[in-house]
Chain A
Amino acid sequence: MRVTVDTGVCVGAGMCALTVPAVFDQSEEEGLVVVLRSEVPAGLEQAVRRALTLCPSGALAAV
């Protein structure tokens, strides 16, 4: 599973970083989503799927 993000629509709510801190962070300045590993480590797929549904802005996608 690979994740992609769209910082153009991200509203910095932090649900991604709260839910899967090993994959998502927020930038220091703007608080927008930062991907730490775009290739999701085995075992974290379910948590990443959860973050995708929790994200309020639709900024996250996975293929």
Chain B
Amino acid sequence: MTYPMSRQRRLDPPDELFDDPAPVRPLTFADGHVGWLVRGHAAGRAVLSDPRFSTEPDLQHPLVASRHLPKGRVPPGFFLRMDAPDHTRYRRLLTGHFTVRRMNQLQPRIEEIAATCLDDMERAGPPADLVRDFALPIPSLVICELLGVPYEDRENFQNESARLLRLDSSPGEMESAVDDLVKYFYTLIARKRVEPANDLLTGLIGGGELEDDEIAGMGFLLLVAGHETTANMLALGTFALLEHPEQLALVRDDPAVIDNAVEELLRYLSIIHVGPTRTAVEDVVIEGTTIRAGECVALSIPAANRDPSRFADPCALDVRQPAGSHLSFGHGIHQCLGQQLARIEMRVAYPALLRRFPSLRLAVPAEEVPMRADMSIYGVHSLRVTW
């Protein structure tokens, strides 16, 4: 089989992922390489936490034909695609900025940003596009303030990052998007040297341990990872809640459910729906299957998150079902650095939206909501709502 991409229902992963219960099964990659699909929860954790699997881009095989950045084109500092110890060095410079405590301190500012978006929506009156007016601005503003990227520049980087995340972008288009984003950060770094501010980029420059190209690669990773992901969770999560009114009412009316509701939405929606991939650097046995050195494995986070041996009612959206062990943020050394920020953004934003507009509903039929099946991060392209 090839990597299953066609969905039968908008909020459920492709049925094909579930027609064979084996946790690991053979998979043909887009370049003809025969590797493995890992779809079980335990098997997924095992792969992601095993140092015998590498994340180096030049060792991976593409799941989608067009998406293959030419060799050696990953920017320095882009630690999402590095193995230890290079990865360790970069990640350690950032972990202190993303602790549970630091992120909790941002809560009042995130509440303020959400309230401003809601005020603007209320003033403009219905209908609104929830992506443009709420889901995208909140995480974009937050990550811009944290990094020290001027929010006025958002048109530039939002276009580049969309090009990067489109599954049908050609290698050339991806390469130029990477170049443009890195170039943008060079300019910004030069400006920060002259006008230092109280932000993460200034901190990395002042630390003196990094070259400018490394800071650019890190900044660009944080900027893209920081706004696209949470934005899609906010919009797709709202769509899912509108399709499950009894769950929506719980999130709106019962403050006690929000923490678990966020975990359950992360599990149920699994917005990282293509990969990640890892390649074995020596032979490894995963749940009885031998993966030979050089073979590539593709995880399915949506399948792992609906593994019936892990979750009691995997296909239901139930904000009261314990969902904390989902793999939506990955596992192992690359587990999402920004997850505590994403959690706070979601814990603030969903209830704020639903309480401001208790009669929120779709302004178009659900079948007409444009889904992001063409993007490496799933979600909705737009969400027309009224109240």
Contact = CB atoms under 8 A, between A and B. Distances in A.
A30 B92 contact: yes
A50 B97 CA distance: 25
Interface in B293-347: 324-325, 329-333, 335-337, 339-340, 343
Contact of A29 (B96, B332, B333): B96
B335 A56 contact: yes
B100 A26 contact: yes
Contacts of B333: 11, 56-57
B330 A12 contact: no
A25 B94 CA distance: 16
- The secondary-structure label for the interface of chain B is helix
Q: How large is the interface on B (under 10, 10 to 19, 20 to 34, 35 or more residues)?
A: 20 to 34
Q: Is the interface of A mostly helix, strand, loop or mixed?
A: loop
A51 to B, nearest CB: 10
A13 B96 CA distance: 10
Contacts of B331: 56
Given A12-B99, A14-B340, A31-B97, 20 more contacts: A12-B91, A12-B95, A12-B98, A12-B337, A13-B336, A18-B340, A21-B100, A25-B101, A26-B96, A26-B99, A27-B96, A28-B99, A30-B95, A31-B98, A53-B325, A54-B325, A56-B330, A56-B331, A57-B333, A57-B335
29 contacts: A11-B333, A12-B92, A12-B96, A12-B98, A12-B99, A12-B337, A13-B329, A13-B337, A13-B339, A14-B98, A14-B99, A17-B100, A18-B340, A21-B100, A26-B95, A28-B96, A28-B99, A31-B94, A31-B96, A31-B97, A31-B99, A50-B324, A54-B324, A54-B325, A56-B48, A56-B49, A56-B332, A56-B333, A56-B335
